[in-house]
Amino acid sequence: MTVGSGAVTGRAVWAVVGLVLVGLAGCTSAPAEQGAAPPGSTSQGPPVSSPAPEVTPVGLAIVPGDKAVDVAPGEPVRVTATGGRLTEVVVTNQDGKPVGGQLAADGTSWQSTEPLGYGKSYTATATGQGADGKTAAATASFSTVTPRRQTNLSISPLDGQTVGVGLPLAFYFDTAIADKAAAERAIKITTTPAVEGAFYWFDDRQVQWRPEDYWKPGTKITVNAAVYGKDLGNGVYGREDRAANITVGDSVIIHADGQTHQATVAINGVVARTIPISMGKRGYETPQGTFVVMSEHTNYIMDSSTYGVPVDSPQGYRTKVAVATRLSNSGIFYHSAPWSVRQQGNSNVSHGCINMSTENSRWLQEVSNRGDIFIVSNSGGQRLEPTDGIGVWQIPWAEWRKGGKR
């Protein structure tokens, strides 16, 4: 007799019912079936084999993805393989020129090692092989952004320079930067020994970075401002990267006191010389605060008209000095002043600068660097403004860490 798929034979019905009855019997023992192992013995059935692990094909991913537009050329092309390894990656521009790249040691990722161009088209092709031995391929075509404007970046100090312990790292854009966080991410600063530091924006174009305290003498600083191809907001992108390796020299810190009329020079914490000085007279008091040496000059013309006093006025002057070191944008220098040697050490007679003898000013310039610290106290002058020269140490660390006009 033929039974359809929906029918059950009598034997099958009894089998099902028997199972149900056994289930209902609970604690009642059923007679042992013929050939079954007696109670208390163990039975070794046939081995049960584990199912073979499932092998998935290799998966390939390309970033930027296919048909992506306005890609930032400063970001690398990345290709990854899951469940296998990459066997080949080729990225070419619209002219067929290949883009350099590096395959990871484990073969699971690839990244471009040279920047892309602005306003260009590219094609990335990747092949890979999975653990199952099968191969796969993926292709992505994309285009890079054409910036509304490209910005130039200047940095200070420059590559190879040795600087004083007070000099910050300064970055000057020639265009207002809308996305300041992106600009900060593009600027990498590493130091040996390591030190905590922070960025502070003085305006939309100028940002500086400094540690909480003065640099340690001998610190090595590496700056990598990789702004090319980075989106800095409002359609502005970096034109060119900047880099520098900088060394911090000896610690030279000068304390100039307007009451004692003396300047104490400490080199690496040891007083090297005490110099008689004369600061600004009444009405021309020298600003008070922590100055940073900006630039050093010899045979320099001191001109009162540079800070608003005409040369032909009663307080005007235009005089050449043998040694001059700039401390502020507003015209404060320490400089040689042989005409006031008699007042140096006992009274303040200058127009705001710190007068010294020619011998002392020359010695100080010889032992110091741009970036050294020059602290003025008890002069009777106004507080030095942080924007007057390199006045970064006039800003408390808690305030500096807030980022300024970020």
Out of 27, 297, 335, 351, pick the active-site residue: 335
Out of 27, 255, 297, 353, pick the active-site residue: 353
Contact 334, 353 (CB under 8 A): yes
Please report the DSSP string for 31-68 in residue order: PPPTTPPPTT-----PPPPPPPPPPPPPEEEEESPTT-
What SS3 string covers 258-322? CCCCEEEEEECCEEEEEEECECECCCCCCCEEEEECCEEEEEEEEEHHHHCCCCCCCCCCEEEEE
Contact 309, 331 (CB under 8 A): no
SS3 233: coil
335 carries an active-site annotation: yes
Report residue 27 as tokens: 């604690």
Q: Report the alpha-carbon distance of residue 326 to residue 292 in Å, rounded.
A: 9
- For residue 345, give the DSSP letter: T
297 carries an active-site annotation: no
Q: How many CA atoms lie within 13 A of 293 on its CB side?
A: 26
- Residue 172's Cβ-count burial label (10 Å; 0-12, 13-18, 19+) is middle
Q: Report the alpha-carbon distance of residue 94 to residue 261 in Å, rounded.
A: 71
SS3 364: helix
Contact 229, 238 (CB under 8 A): yes
Residues labelled as active-site residues: 335, 353
